[in-house]
Structure 1
């Protein structure tokens, strides 16, 4: 009777250890996958990243916009032609 109890106890310990090892293995595998996903996302971000561009403020509305979209009138920077026309029209009045 005692031998049977010891065998059952040993089987329970064996299955508990086996379950714990499987859980650790799955956790490490998921962490490694997450780490690889992060590295892939980081390299994709670096590859798609553009050079930064200077930002300018519109003389009419004070909104910042990229320097590549500037409209210059009377040595002032504007974000669009409409604002440049409004400023030109209001200063001539």
Structure 2
């Protein structure tokens, strides 16, 4: 009889410890989403929004050079004769 009580008490303590750890992890997770991000840091991904979608929103548009065909960020474009080029050197070359 004492062995049964021992095993029941041990099982109860294990279940209690596991549930306590789960509650602590949930509280830490909730606090992480409540705190505003520090300056210069990206906010943590939202629960319904995957991290990949957040990265895609931050991605820059890529353009293709009219001369060599290489892809480059739109912020680095050099426009000439109504076309986009990857560098000033390619913009000055005769059209192919």
TM-score, structure 2 length as denominator?
0.55
* Higher percent of residues as helix: 1
**Structure 1 residue 19: Cα displacement:** 1.2
Say which of 25, 29, 38 aligns to 2:20. 25
Relative to structure 1, is the Cα distance of residues 77 and 30 closer, same or farther in structure 2, using a 3 angstrom cutoff?
A: same
- CA distance in 2 between counterparts of 1:27 and 1:13 reads 21
Relative to structure 1, is the Cα distance of residues 36 and 62 closer, same or farther in structure 2, using a 3 angstrom cutoff?
A: farther
- CA distance in 1 between counterparts of 2:9 and 2:31 reads 33
Q: Counterparts in 2 of 1:4-19, with a 5 A limit?
A: 6-19=1-14
- Give the equivalent residue in structure 1 for 2:39: none
- CA distance in 1 between counterparts of 2:65 and 2:30 reads 44
- CA distance in 2 between counterparts of 1:56 and 1:66 reads 6
TM-score, structure 1 length as denominator?
0.56
Name structure 1 gaps, 5 residues minimum.
Answer: 1-5
**Structure 1 residue 36: Cα displacement:** 5.0
- Give the equivalent residue in structure 2 for 1:65: 72
Structural RMSD (CA)? 3.2
